[in-house]
Every structure is written in structure tokens, then in C-alpha cells.
């Protein structure tokens, strides 16, 4: 294995640290499967004053400079937010470098322009980790399921809210108690707005809908209602009727996609009703496939890092063959 691939990692938070640790701990395995020596060449962090626990010679506080560096072959963005993350991804794609991202908000809002930029410059742009964490969703959607006409998607796409609803149902505790515990466990942020108000799930179903329709789907057209303040009595009343309350991100594909995030009451026999804890799942109805459900760990540093590193491996494999594997074309 003679070739070397230099990875630039943007962000060293929960996911970024897990990506760094995975690339380090599984270096030989990852390099063998990628067909090249994959090394982390530099890491962009918020401040150089903090002790990040890695070799300081790898650190920089100039994320855009790192993404623009011609010696970096694969740029991995796990910072979150629209900017400077968006500028960094555009800088890497503009010079034809591979880019991997787990940034659901950025991709949901700018997927058409980012995919177009990648295609214009022959760059490989991958974002499997942006939807469903460690569950393979985007690749099966575009490849194994690529011949299907999609009819409807329903997903439990936020592990935090599913954990809260599960704890309320199984332990008989209030929303506030379940949220406090989720924050103590690290499932929920200090500001849980993105999770409990449904934004996180909305970004993910928007990405899926944009891929399927080939059009930039606007989040502004969606109906959005989260679980904030849901009462234990509502959960118990649904159970008494043989139903289970879940925060469901859904998309229906008719003349125009209709996307929403809301608490839905599912019959116990529905595949999504049995999904508990921080697990994520996506139920797909398509023709000629019929129905299929994909499920697995959808939250946390480990599962998300697994998807990110998987994208790195595939990007390097394509690079070795002189090809790219872009997402389906998406127009704005």
C-alpha cells in the first residue's frame, strides 16, 4: 500500500472526536479496505488554547484554510451549523477534493447547490451520517432501492425524543423528568430545542425528500410540531387504545412532496411502534418494493462516526479508481 490519503477533520466535538479515535484505532483495517494509507493530517478546532488531548502539531484554528489546503485529499466536516461549515465544504468541493459531512441542517437547506458544485468540479460529496447516524439509509436509497417509485416515508429520526417518549411510557415519568435525564445521559443538549421541537427530524426528512424528488425541498413548506410539553396522560390514553405515540418525520410523494414532523399515534403492529430508546428507524413504502424498515443506532458519537468513516473509505476507494459517486442530481 504505497499511496497516502491526507484527511482534514473540521471539528473535534463529540462526533469529531469519535471520528478521530476510529481512524486512529482502526487505521490498518480502514486503510486496507480503502486501498490507501488513510491518515488524519490536520484538525480544525475552535481554540488552540484548549487541551484537546491530541498531538498539538495537528491542530489549527483556521477551518477554511484547512479546507482550502491543496495537500488535503478528503475534508471531513463535523462542526455543525450553516457557517463557516458551508464555506468550508464549498472550498473543498471547488478544488475537486472529496468532502464528507454529518451536517444535517446545512445539507437540508443547501443540498441542491452543494451537490451541483460537487458535480461541476468532479468532486465526491458524501453525507450518509446526516440522516440516521449509523443506519445505512442514503446509500441503499440511491443504489439498492434506486429503481423504485417512492410513495411514502415515515421515520423515527431523532434518538433523543424517542428516548424521552420511551422513558415516559415505560416508567410513568413526566416530560420534564425524562428530558432532564436525557440531558444527564448526554442524549439531549443543554438547549434541547432542535430535538424536542422537531427541527432535527425535519432536516433529515427534508434531505431524504430532496434526494428522492431531485428537487430542493424547502423546510418552510413543512408542518412542524415536536414533543415539547407532551403529557404522560396522552401516552397512557394511546396505549389503552392499542396505539403508541411517536415523533414521526413523514414524507408523501404525489405531485409535490408533503413533509411533516409531528407526534403520531401508531397501532402497536406498525413496525415503528416497537422502536424504543435512542434507536432510529425509517419505514419505506415504494413500488415495486412494497414495504421495508431500516433501523439501528441513530444517535451519539460512535454510530455517527461509523457512518462518517464509512464515507471516507468509499471516497478514498473512488479516488483510487479515478471516479466519484455523487448523489442523485438535485435542482434548486
Could you write out the three-class secondary structure of 79-139? CCCCCCHHHHHHHHHHCCCEEEECCHHHHHHHHHHHHHHHHHCCCCEECHHHCCCCCCCHH
- Residue 29 CA to residue 137 CA, distance in Å, equals 23
Within the chain, strands assigned E span 4-10, 37-44, 59-60, 74-77, 98-101, 125-126, 149-156, 223-224, 243-253, 257-267, 279-287, 290-297
Nearest to 130 by CA among 226, 224, 201: 201
Give the position of cell 425535519.
202
Bridge partners for 44 per DSSP: 10, 60
Instruction: Tell me which long-range contacts 31-35 makes (C-beta under 8 A, separation of at least 24).
Output: 31/1, 32/1, 33/313, 33/317, 34/5, 34/312, 34/313, 34/316, 34/317, 34/320, 35/1, 35/3, 35/316, 35/317, 35/320
Question: Do the Cβ atoms of 103 and 127 come closer than 8 Å?
Answer: yes
Residue pair 133/18 in contact (Cβ under 8 Å)? The answer is no
User: Which residues have a catalytic role annotated?
Assistant: 204
Alpha carbon distance 326, 324 (integer Å)? 6
Amino acid at each position: 500500500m504505497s499511496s497516502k490519503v491526507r484527511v482534514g477533520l473540521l471539528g473535534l466535538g463529540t462526533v469529531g472526536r469519535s471520528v478521530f479515535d476510529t481512524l486512529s484505532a482502526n487505521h490498518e483495517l480502514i486503510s486496507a479496505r480503502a486501498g490507501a494509507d488513510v491518515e488524519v493530517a490536520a484538525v480544525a478546532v475552535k481554540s488552540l488554547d484548549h487541551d484537546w488531548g491530541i498531538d498539538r502539531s495537528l491542530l489549527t484554528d483556521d477551518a477554511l484554510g484547512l479546507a482550502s489546503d491543496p495537500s488535503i485529499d478528503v475534508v471531513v466536516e463535523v462542526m455543525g451549523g450553516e457557517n463557516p461549515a458551508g464555506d468550508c465544504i464549498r472550498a473543498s468541493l471547488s478544488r475537486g477534493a472529496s468532502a464528507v459531512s454529518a451536517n444535517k441542517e446545512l445539507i437540508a437547506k443547501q443540498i441542491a447547490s452543494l451537490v451541483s458544485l460537487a458535480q461541476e468540479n468532479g468532486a465526491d460529496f458524501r453525507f450518509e451520517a446526516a440522516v440516521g447516524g449509523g443506519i445505512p439509509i442514503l446509500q441503499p436509497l440511491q443504489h439498492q432501492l434506486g429503481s423504485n417509485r417512492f410513495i411514502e416515508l415515515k421515520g423515527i429520526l431523532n434518538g433523543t425524543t424517542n428516548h424521552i417518549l420511551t422513558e415516559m411510557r415505560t416508567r410513568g415519568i413526566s416530560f420534564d423528568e425524562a428530558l432532564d435525564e436525557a440531558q444527564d445521559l448526554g442524549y439531549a443538549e443543554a438547549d434541547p430545542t432542535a430535538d424536542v421541537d422537531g427541527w432535527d427530524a425535519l432536516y433529515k426528512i427534508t434531505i431524504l425528500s430532496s434526494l428522492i424528488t431531485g428537487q430542493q425541498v424547502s423546510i418552510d413548506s413543512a408542518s412542524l410540531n415536536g414533543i415539547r410539553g407532551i403529557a404522560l396522560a396522552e401516552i397512557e390514553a394511546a396505549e389503552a387504545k392499542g396505539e403508541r405515540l411517536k415523533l414521526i418525520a413523514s414524507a408523501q410523494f404525489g405531485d409535490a412532496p408533503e413533509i411533516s414532523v409531528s407526534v403520531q399515534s401508531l397501532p402497536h403492529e406498525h413496525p415503528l411502534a416497537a422502536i424504543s430508546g435512542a434507536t432510529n428507524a425509517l419505514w419505506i413504502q415504494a413500488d415495486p418494493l412494497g414495504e421495508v424498515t431500516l433501523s439501528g443506532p441513530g444517535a451519539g458519537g460512535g454510530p455517527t462516526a461509523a457512518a462518517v468513516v464509512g464515507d471516507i473509505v468509499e471516497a478514498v476507494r473512488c479516488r483510487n479508481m479515478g471516479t466519484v459517486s455523487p448523489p442523485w442530481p438535485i435542482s434548486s
